[in-house]
Chain A
Amino acid sequence: MKKLITIAVMLVSNHLYANTNSSCVQSSSQIKAQYQITESQQNHQQSRELTLWRNGEQVAHQSDNIVELWQHLKNNQIRPIRYFTEHKRGIEYQPSEVTGKQSWSAKYQLLDKKLIDKMKLVSEQGQGCDKSQLLEFADKNIKIKVNWLPELQLAQSIQISQGQYAREIKLLSKNTDKTLINQQFKQWDLYQTTDYADVGDNENDPFLAKMINQGFIEHGATGFYNQNGEMLQGHGHHH
């Protein structure tokens, strides 16, 4: 039954895209989009960059030294890989299928498709691939404003405010050069990788030993949001 509802939701949301220009969508399936993320809390402000890479059924979020890459499998599971660019090493994880927790669209376009569907269309301008929409969502906790490029399934800007806390994600540049994108994914693929399951048996490997003894270096810059506008930080609970 739950499955039926999910399918129904997906059909509805697909309908919204029925008029998308197929050549835009195609060109947006291989893209490099550079974002600046600015967070502010009272008089504190912090900025960093995040690059969103798409290559068909693969998406990567690149921040300083970490790349989080996800592969969308044909059975709809998502398989994560985490690359440490400084070490040219990677950790591969088993695909998992945690219903409701793993959202491909949240990784692919930084915002869950269901959140986009839920937002109010305030205004629209431009034509074809350049068409942009101003979308808004607000409840008692959170306010989200998105400048959305529907044909590219790409956010131009995302503004979130939650009490004293504000976060702005701004698209700095985008590039659809296929050669560049293919090359980047190929380069990551050449890194030496280890299964997460094998880390525990590799205490003699200095890179992995560091992980065993000091914990997982740091989190990747996962600046993406689920259908409730909550920022996704992996899929554990915080207590």
Chain B
Amino acid sequence: MKIKQVASAIGLTLALSAHTFASVLPDAQSQSEWYTSAQTKLSDKVAGSQTEIKTKAKNVILFVGDGMGISTLTAARILKGQLDGNSGEEGYLSFEMFPYSAQVKTYNVDAQTPDSAGTMTAMISGVKTDVGVIGVDEDIVRGDCSTVAGNELVTATELAEIRGLATGLVSTARITHATPAATYAKSADRNWEDVSDMSETAVTAGCEDIASQLVNFESNLEARFAGVDVDGIDVVMGGGRRHFLPKDEAYNSNDAVSSVEGDRTDGRDLTAEWQQQYPQGVYVTDQTGFDAIADDTTKVFALFNESHMQYEADRANDVAGEPSLSAMTTKAIDVLAKNEKGFFLTVESGRIDHAHHAGNAYNALSDTIELAKAVQAAYDSTDPEETLILVTADHSHVFTIAGYPKRGNPILGKVVAVGEDTPTLANDGMPYTTVGYANGLGFRDLGAETDADAAYNEAAVAGRINLDGVDTQTPGYHQEVTVPLSSETHAGEDISLHATGPGAHLAQGVIEQNVVFHIIDQALELTE
């Protein structure tokens, strides 16, 4: 009784004070668009908090931007706005409009600054582990096959399969690369992508390479859980063909860039093995094959590149053509949504990380914008009442937005101060860019080059360059760095988790990365 009285008294005070303050505010303040739009935003949140919260989802889609730290989101948001003709700062990436978000601690069990293998294992299995290992816990010794047995973790993808949901995996990286691999493989080393990448000892000790684990997913899972009958991963799309084909020119596809595409030294053609297991399934390698996937298809295996797929800005340069991340996402949902029980789909934008490693902000940001497009496509093609969409990263990069550029200053441009028209000069008398890196290869100006990897030919250049007359907004511009390294590195600060749909409200506060699994589990009731 007393508590109730106090509560209503507080409610009364709040109501009163809001009213009182509004009337004491000058019009210039209360009529300001900043004021009114923020008030509307708050009212929307209040209204949202009063509607019934749904906790159980039919479908979950987990988007991971590899290396997509907070500064990458901010810069991509501004670039996207500027490409649309706006100042840029005021806009949002699609998923930044989701109602819930959390701040995520990314460290690995043995590393302050993590890598994708340890972080994705945490997100997909609920347990943090060491750097460089896939689907196994911290008791593993990296690279030691004999320590795998008994330390394997079960993933959300596997649990979803067991519950009869449709499952899918899409990535612009090799599908055997750390992030996608963590959804289906158990490996003492992230680099064991095919048998030729493993030591003789590891092979004879019975460890299975990552590509083989993808193709044998169904039988491996059934062997691990007695009496379980699953139908295998339904949609797999990405790069990495070389790990599935024998090292023999005869197996080259029409998309080959190497004289011999395949890397496998055991003579196995895993694409043929997959087709044999799933005769009704469709195996495709290029844009034409992708476009021809029929509406009634229920199993897809697509390997669009020998290695990683192209950067979005470089996609037109692919030999046989390949689809965008958003096109793959939409297609994957079309196929998976046929399962009435629902689906679990993981989508990785794998090359934001690579462009950052190359010190090339343009490609990192344009791939981030494409990821935002893919999230929007997923939102548009699912029912928000029954689909939980999570968007996160595995770790950050040493990418900074610095100086005092004026509002609307091109995000990839040189700093021009408020009220000025010419670039601000640093103490060394030279202009500087807003975005930069704390370490890496450093400055290079490759102009129209859309392939971030083309920077390799020259040694690292630390420090300052006279940027007079250099167009820093071209696809081939690589930003200046402080510490010279042949590759820019990951960063250790927190990353974000954005969420919408049933169970999304649990994404809040500062959380450990392995909580992501538990949010998925809660929504799909995977372990109940």
B237 at the binding interface (Cβ < 8 Å): no
B401 at the binding interface (Cβ < 8 Å): no
Q: A77-B319, A204-B142 are in contact. Are A189 and B357 (CB under 8 A)?
A: no
List CB contacts (< 8 Å) of B318-370 with chain A. Answer: 319, 351, 353-354, 357-358
Residues on the A chain within 8 Å of B351, using CB: 197
- Cβ contact within 8 Å between A199 and B357: yes
Nearest B residue to A205 via CB reads: B191
List CB contacts (< 8 Å) of B441-460 with chain A. Answer: 444-449, 451, 453-460
- Cβ contact within 8 Å between A200 and B357: yes
- Cβ contact within 8 Å between A235 and B319: no
Nearest B residue to A58 via CB reads: B259
Interface 9-mer from B385-393, B414-422, B483-491, B497-505: B483-491
Interface 9-mer from A10-18, A42-50, A67-75: A67-75
How distant is the Cα of A71 from the Cα of B319 in the complex, in angstroms?
A: 13
A211 at the binding interface (Cβ < 8 Å): yes
By size class, the interface of chain B is 35 or more
List CB contacts (< 8 Å) of A167-191 with chain B. Answer: 185, 189
- Cβ contact within 8 Å between A215 and B486: yes
A226 to chain B, nearest CB (A): 15
- Cβ contact within 8 Å between B485 and A197: no
A154 at the binding interface (Cβ < 8 Å): no
A27 to chain B, nearest CB (A): 20
A30 to chain B, nearest CB (A): 14
Residues on the A chain within 8 Å of B487, using CB: 199-200, 211-212
- Cβ contact within 8 Å between A234 and B489: no
Residues on the A chain within 8 Å of B466, using CB: 239
Tell which of A58, A79, A99, A196 touches B257, judged by Cβ atoms closer than 8 Å.
A79
B352 to chain A, nearest CB (A): 12
A125 at the binding interface (Cβ < 8 Å): no
Residues on the B chain within 8 Å of A57, using CB: 259
A98 at the binding interface (Cβ < 8 Å): yes
Q: A94-B453, A96-B451 are in contact. Are A201 and B259 (CB under 8 A)?
A: no
B168 at the binding interface (Cβ < 8 Å): no
How distant is the Cα of A216 from the Cα of B459 in the complex, in angstroms?
A: 5
| Most chain A CB atoms below 10 A, which of B142, B178, B458 | B458
Nearest A residue to B488 via CB reads: A200
Residues on the A chain within 8 Å of B447, using CB: 98
B258 at the binding interface (Cβ < 8 Å): yes
A58-83 near B? 1/0 per residue, CB < 8 Å? 10000000000001011101010010
- Cβ contact within 8 Å between A98 and B453: no
B153 at the binding interface (Cβ < 8 Å): no
Tell which of B115, B453, B485 touches A201, judged by Cβ atoms closer than 8 Å.
B115
B183 at the binding interface (Cβ < 8 Å): no
B146 to chain A, nearest CB (A): 19
B308 at the binding interface (Cβ < 8 Å): yes
Nearest B residue to A189 via CB reads: B260
- Cβ contact within 8 Å between A211 and B486: yes
Tell which of B258, B357, B486 touches A71, judged by Cβ atoms closer than 8 Å.
B258
How distant is the Cα of A58 from the Cα of B258 in the complex, in angstroms?
A: 10
- Cβ contact within 8 Å between B319 and A74: yes
Q: A216-B459, A239-B466 are in contact. Are A189 and B486 (CB under 8 A)?
A: no
- Cβ contact within 8 Å between B454 and A73: no
Residues on the B chain within 8 Å of A71, using CB: 257-259
- Cβ contact within 8 Å between B456 and A95: no
A39 at the binding interface (Cβ < 8 Å): no
How distant is the Cα of A77 from the Cα of B453 in the complex, in angstroms?
A: 14
B116 at the binding interface (Cβ < 8 Å): yes
B132 at the binding interface (Cβ < 8 Å): yes
B118-160 near A? 1/0 per residue, CB < 8 Å? 0000000000000110000000001000000000000000000
- Cβ contact within 8 Å between B259 and A94: no
Nearest A residue to B143 via CB reads: A204
- Cβ contact within 8 Å between A197 and B358: yes
- Total of A-B residue pairs, C-beta within 8 Å: 119
List CB contacts (< 8 Å) of B185-219 with chain A. Answer: 190-191
A56 to chain B, nearest CB (A): 9
- Cβ contact within 8 Å between B449 and A98: yes
Binding site secondary structure of chain B: loop
Q: A98-B454, A235-B454 are in contact. Are A195 and B460 (CB under 8 A)?
A: no
Residues on the A chain within 8 Å of B37, using CB: none
A214 at the binding interface (Cβ < 8 Å): yes
Nearest B residue to A68 via CB reads: B457
Residues on the B chain within 8 Å of A203, using CB: 489
- Cβ contact within 8 Å between A189 and B453: no
B465 at the binding interface (Cβ < 8 Å): yes
A2 at the binding interface (Cβ < 8 Å): no
A146 at the binding interface (Cβ < 8 Å): no
Residues on the B chain within 8 Å of A75, using CB: 319
Q: A199-B487, A201-B357, A204-B132 are in contact. Are A98 and B446 (CB under 8 A)?
A: yes
How distant is the Cα of A232 from the Cα of B260 in the complex, in angstroms?
A: 28
| Most chain A CB atoms below 10 A, which of B307, B445, B451, B466 | B451
- Cβ contact within 8 Å between A236 and B485: no
- Cβ contact within 8 Å between B458 and A189: no
A40 at the binding interface (Cβ < 8 Å): no
How distant is the Cα of A127 from the Cα of B449 in the complex, in angstroms?
A: 44
B474 to chain A, nearest CB (A): 12
Q: A58-B259, A237-B445, A239-B465 are in contact. Are A214 and B453 (CB under 8 A)?
A: no
A204-239 near B? 1/0 per residue, CB < 8 Å? 110000011111100100000000000001111101
- Cβ contact within 8 Å between A236 and B257: no
A93 at the binding interface (Cβ < 8 Å): yes
Residues on the B chain within 8 Å of A58, using CB: 259
Nearest A residue to B177 via CB reads: A198
Nearest A residue to B452 via CB reads: A197
B317 at the binding interface (Cβ < 8 Å): yes
- Cβ contact within 8 Å between B454 and A215: no
Residues on the B chain within 8 Å of A91, using CB: 456
A202 at the binding interface (Cβ < 8 Å): yes
| Most chain B CB atoms below 10 A, which of A74, A75, A201 | A201
Nearest B residue to A185 via CB reads: B259
- Cβ contact within 8 Å between A202 and B459: no
How distant is the Cα of A57 from the Cα of B252 in the complex, in angstroms?
A: 16
Chain A residues near B (Cβ < 8 Å): 57-58, 71, 73-75, 77, 79, 82, 91-99, 185, 189, 195-197, 199-205, 211-216, 219, 233-237, 239
14 of the cross-chain contacts (CB-CB < 8 Å) are A77-B317, A92-B307, A93-B456, A96-B317, A195-B308, A197-B357, A197-B453, A201-B116, A201-B178, A204-B131, A216-B460, A234-B456, A235-B457, A236-B455
Closest A-B pairs by Cβ, 9 of them: A234-B457, A200-B357, A200-B487, A197-B354, A96-B451, A215-B459, A215-B460, A211-B486, A212-B486
5 additional A-B pairs beyond A95-B319, A196-B456, beta carbons within 8 Å, are A73-B257, A94-B307, A95-B317, A205-B191, A215-B484
Chain B residues near A (Cβ < 8 Å): 115-116, 131-132, 142, 178, 190-191, 257-260, 307-308, 310, 314, 317, 319, 351, 353-354, 357-358, 444-449, 451, 453-460, 465-466, 484-489
